[in-house]
Structure 1
Amino acid sequence: MPIMADTQALDAVDPLERKYSNPVHDDKPLDADAGDEVYVFAPNAELEKRILRKIDLRLIPIAMIMYLLNYLDRNNVGNAKTAGMQKDLNLSSSDYSLAVSIFFVGYLCLQVPSNMILSRTRPRFYLPGIMFVWGCLVIGYVGVNTKAGLIGLRFVLGVVEAGFFPGILLYMSFWYKKMELARRFAVFYSASLLAGAFGGLLAGAILSGLNGASGLPAWKWLFLIEGLMTVCFSVIAVFILPDFPGNTKWLSKEERDYAVGRLIADNNIDSEEDTAIGHWKSIVMAVKDWRTWLFCFGQSCNTAAGTITYFIPTLMSALGYSGKHAQYMTVPIYMVALVIVLVTCFSSDITQERPKHIMAVAALSVVSLAITAGVQGNPHVRYAFLAFGASGIWACSPMTLTYLSNTISRPAEKRAVSVGIVNALANLSSVYGSYIWPSTSAPKYIPGFVTSTMLQFGSFAFAVAAWYLLKKYPYPVKALAVRMEATS
């Protein structure tokens, strides 16, 4: 059964004609008057499978590697701390927390404007460009010899990295239907978990083999190597990362038309009326929508609890591990999280359900973190439940952001603003979240575990509220008109 989509007349216009060219940045839209072939979109399982395979192979691996390097460069300060940075820079517990949190002050500044720019520019240049600059900044850690220098560099790094993560989420929503997005975003997000594991392995290897080489301490070698990796890969990414379905060279004309048409049928692409909305109106629409603030609350709980990421190596030391062994023992925790995140998000897409999955992983983290806080005599039990508690936190984040992107689907620029607002304000919670793990509470770290447990209960409450409210008050988007007709 083919589908013809149009917002004005069901009988007249090709769904991929002029009004749908702008959202996908098609430089040469179809023009029936000029003699171009008019393509009628028809559901075709074989063609769709082939297109998805091409998109997945071209987009997901490159995005994963970019995010892996992004996560390494953002969070390697935790590995550097236990590799000698704290001693060399004479950092107190409060100094380190400030260095962690100041990143998110800078991170807040550019998320919304960056997403608005991305929605109207070419991702293959914009996203690798951001990556190149932050890679150069990470290399700049080599010149840091004071805590003031560390704090200043962390702030600038946050400003530059601000556009990447929400930009990737927005970018992926231009390629996939709503119920295809969670599993792809989960695979992408799993790069952060692989980065956590890889970061521990790399830090352990550097601590063993490069400490003092060429006069540099191990923690400076860590930043230098990871920064060079980022700079080199940003150049490669320009030649691999695709832009949008409508102007992608490695899809045939038939595949490009179908790739856009299926998004039209999924009500996930802007109409002519949507694209006429300006920047300011998009901002106003996003700010006035209560859904933006509901998701902001949920993601803020996830992100504040997620500051445990910066203290995983420290918590390993509290459990009795030291040196390179403290670095290596972080790896199994991220591997457990990888499995839980992928299973949760794939299940969510397959069952086409979001809030109950968030409830499940939030409940997992609440119970696990409470046990970790309560059991003090057995480090092995604490280690095991710390892995499950952290996994629940990390699984909530991609699920919440995917749920947001599915809910506020159109106009695209309003979605861009909403994603930017939610991610920016949620990451601002890391400013205070980084202070819930003071060194004075070692080795039990009760304040950190109790606060994280309460925050994850907030994530559970958000999911319940979203499940009820979004069912009672569906998102008011005008559906694109669709006609079903027989295949010739």
Structure 2
Amino acid sequence: MNVGKEAISGSDVVNEDFGLCTGNPSKTSKWARIKEIIWDGPRPAEEKKLVQRLDLFLMTWATYGYFVRLLDLETLVTNAYVSGMEEDLNIHGNQYNLLTTFFTCGYLVGQVPSQLLLTKFRPSYYLPAVELLWTILTFCFAAVQSTKQVFAIRFLVGMLEKLAKRIAIFYSASYAASMFSGYLQAGIYKGLDGHLGLPGWRWLFIFCGIISLPASIWGVYAIPDSPYTTRARWLPEASKQLYIDRMKKIDRRAPAQLSWGKIRKTFTHWPIYTISLMLIFHCLVTQPLNYFAVWLKSLNKFSVYQINLFPTAGQALGLVTTLAYAWVSDGLGGKRWQVMIVPATSNFVGMVIVASGTSYGATFFGYLINAATWGLWPVLYAWVNEICHDDAEERAIVIGVAQTLGQAFIAWVPVVILNVGKYAPQFKMGFTVMSVLSVGEFTMIFVIKWFVDRVRKRDVAAETANSGGQTGDDAQAITLKK
């Protein structure tokens, strides 16, 4: 799944500017175009070997790591909650919502220190160490005896989660993790509930801890660090310079320290505000599926096995649609806002259906379709990379601030409008509010587009004036390049 500036296709100018394939894409075979959309385009032989090594080592570790994080994150706790943890630990009122709140608070507290530590220690040492701590905490979940202990561990896990954040190329692993968690809990509850005196939900955390362990071991060897400091044994010396050259071609220079001037520039530029508002809306309106199992349990018509199994249909839909949005967006030459309209519209439709609660079938469908909206973020991420393509520090600040604000709102808004103790199982007020927020998400697509179009027109006019006049083809090329 090619996303971001490196993956833009559809013009000779863009490909040359980003150091990818050369030659007119229209002259390549249809199969070559399909391969370029799905994974990778044509490259020089040496660069292809380098990318294959990166895929084999770095991407396997990163994707598996992200799979593990999402497996241990919200879905695992939700599956455990509806499989006996609620009764065993006497979780009541809004304590279910606080499970997410404490995790998010840990995420926010740990975010900045984590980034600072990454500048002091090699990622190939630091990240596996954090993965090992994550595994230990997952095992600890199996031994908790009170809700307070769950809150404490969720806070600590949240502090570690920032280091597991991955870019959109493996974003779909979250849905695979959520599906697997449902299947795993359903199978464990059916086969191991009560084994050795432990309820099924405790066995779930034990098995997930075992699954998490290989990620920390593999990471020590697989993580290459920065191209400028790498000591990866699997990367030949000749490839290291190619690694650096390739990064330079796509404007990925060596890391530089932030200055106050750069920070001021970023916070007086429009992307940080529009992207942040967009992501706040997106984070909030993609919460409903976390309450799907709670609603199913309240109906008192399904077994624990079924309650864990049914939501996996939504995860499967999220997996397929996320890949589809990215592939279509890149396949159409970087159509970002056009593709984002689809999940944004689906979100509004799903929210209205769930809020109305007209029937069991309609509500079931409304919850499921919410999963088809999560794939908006990878496309937005690619758009942010293109908008801030010439400023790596601004890009990092924008994405970091937007994600932090999105998580900050998740920490308290669901507690207020989706309080399980007060509003379950219908959550009419909460989903009505989210219907309005989904309109805000849809609107922000066009707000961002307006700013992008304004900058593009200004830059094209400046290029034309500086060059003393351009032909129509030249102007079009400049537009694509911007």
**Superposed, which structure 2 residues align to 1:341-380 within 5 Å?**
341-350=322-331, 351-374=333-356, 376-377=358-359, 379-380=360-361
Secondary structure of 2:302's match?
coil
Cα displacement string for residues 420-468 of structure 1 (whole angstroms, at most 9, x for unaligned residues): 2221121111112432333443443323332332222222122111111
Which residue number in structure 2 is paired with residue 114 of structure 1? 114
Distance 1:359 1:113, change over 3 A: farther
- Shift, 1:102, TM fit: 1.6
Counterpart CA distance in 2 for 1:468 and 1:73 is: 39
Secondary structure of 1:473's match?
helix
- Shift, 1:255, TM fit: 4.4
Q: Does 1:421 align with 2:420?
A: no
Which residue number in structure 1 is paired with residue 418 of structure 2? 437
Aligned residue among 447, 470, 474 for 1:465 = 447
Cα displacement string for residues 300-319 of structure 1 (whole angstroms, at most 9, x for unaligned residues): 11112222243232133356
Which residue number in structure 1 is paired with residue 21 of structure 2? none
Counterpart CA distance in 2 for 1:111 and 1:284 is: 21
Which residue number in structure 2 is paired with residue 456 of structure 1? 438
- Shift, 1:352, TM fit: 1.2
Cα displacement string for residues 191-227 of structure 1 (whole angstroms, at most 9, x for unaligned residues): 1101110010111112122222233222222222212
Counterpart CA distance in 2 for 1:369 and 1:211 is: 35
- Shift, 1:353, TM fit: 2.4
TM-score, scaled to structure 2: 0.77
Amino acid at match of 1:463: I
Contact 1:116–1:416 under 8 Å retained in 2: no
Counterpart CA distance in 2 for 1:250 and 1:342 is: 29
- Shift, 1:282, TM fit: 5.0
Q: Does 1:261 align with 2:254?
A: no
Which residue number in structure 1 is paired with residue 51 of structure 2? 52
Further displaced range: 248-257 or 321-330: 248-257
Which residue number in structure 1 is paired with residue 303 of structure 2? 322
Counterpart CA distance in 2 for 1:410 and 1:46 is: 28
Q: Does 1:67 align with 2:66?
A: yes
Counterpart CA distance in 1 for 2:345 and 2:219 is: 38
Q: Does 1:226 align with 2:208?
A: yes
Counterpart CA distance in 1 for 2:184 and 2:316 is: 16
Which residue number in structure 1 is paired with residue 222 of structure 2? 240
Which residue number in structure 1 is paired with residue 97 of structure 2? 97
Unaligned runs of 5+ in 1: 1-42, 170-184, 480-488
Distance 1:255 1:99, change over 3 A: same
Further displaced range: 351-360 or 193-202: 351-360
Q: What is the root-mean-square deviation in Å for CA atoms of aligned residues?
A: 2.8
Aligned residue among 242, 246, 253 for 1:270 = 253
Secondary structure of 1:242's match?
coil
Secondary structure of 2:286's match?
helix
Unaligned runs of 5+ in 2: 1-41, 464-482
Counterpart CA distance in 2 for 1:424 and 1:346 is: 27
Contact 2:289–2:368 under 8 Å retained in 1: no
Distance 1:47 1:363, change over 3 A: farther
**Superposed, which structure 2 residues align to 1:143-162 within 5 Å?**
143-162=143-162
Distance 1:87 1:399, change over 3 A: same
Aligned residue among 302, 307, 319 for 1:338 = 319
Counterpart CA distance in 2 for 1:80 and 1:233 is: 23
Amino acid at match of 1:403: W
Which residue number in structure 2 is paired with residue 136 of structure 1? 136
Contact 1:340–1:395 under 8 Å retained in 2: yes
Secondary structure of 1:145's match?
coil
- Shift, 1:108, TM fit: 0.9
Cα displacement string for residues 243-278 of structure 1 (whole angstroms, at most 9, x for unaligned residues): 244545545555444443343333x2237xxx5544
Counterpart CA distance in 2 for 1:289 and 1:443 is: 43
Contact 1:105–1:431 under 8 Å retained in 2: yes
TM-score, scaled to structure 1: 0.76
Distance 1:410 1:116, change over 3 A: farther
Secondary structure of 2:145's match?
coil
Distance 1:455 1:192, change over 3 A: same
- Shift, 1:389, TM fit: 2.2
Counterpart CA distance in 1 for 2:446 and 2:314 is: 28
Amino acid at match of 2:404: A
Which residue number in structure 2 is paired with residue 484 of structure 1? none
Cα displacement string for residues 369-422 of structure 1 (whole angstroms, at most 9, x for unaligned residues): 323333522x33432342222211x11222223322333345434433332222
Counterpart CA distance in 1 for 2:85 and 2:256 is: 52
Further displaced range: 46-55 or 59-68: 46-55
Counterpart CA distance in 1 for 2:62 and 2:400 is: 18
Which residue number in structure 1 is paired with residue 365 of structure 2? 384
Counterpart CA distance in 1 for 2:452 and 2:113 is: 27
- Shift, 1:72, TM fit: 1.4
Contact 2:357–2:426 under 8 Å retained in 1: no
Which residue number in structure 1 is paired with residue 32 of structure 2? none
Counterpart CA distance in 2 for 1:121 and 1:457 is: 43
Counterpart CA distance in 1 for 2:346 and 2:384 is: 22
Aligned length: 411
Counterpart CA distance in 1 for 2:407 and 2:63 is: 20
Secondary structure of 2:51's match?
helix
Distance 1:404 1:321, change over 3 A: farther
Contact 1:299–1:426 under 8 Å retained in 2: yes
Contact 1:115–1:416 under 8 Å retained in 2: no
Amino acid at match of 1:454: V
Distance 1:148 1:44, change over 3 A: closer
Secondary structure of 2:335's match?
coil
Which residue number in structure 2 is paired with residue 172 of structure 1? none
**Superposed, which structure 2 residues align to 1:78-89 within 5 Å?**
78-89=78-89
Counterpart CA distance in 1 for 2:112 and 2:387 is: 18
**Superposed, which structure 2 residues align to 1:189-204 within 5 Å?**
189-204=171-186
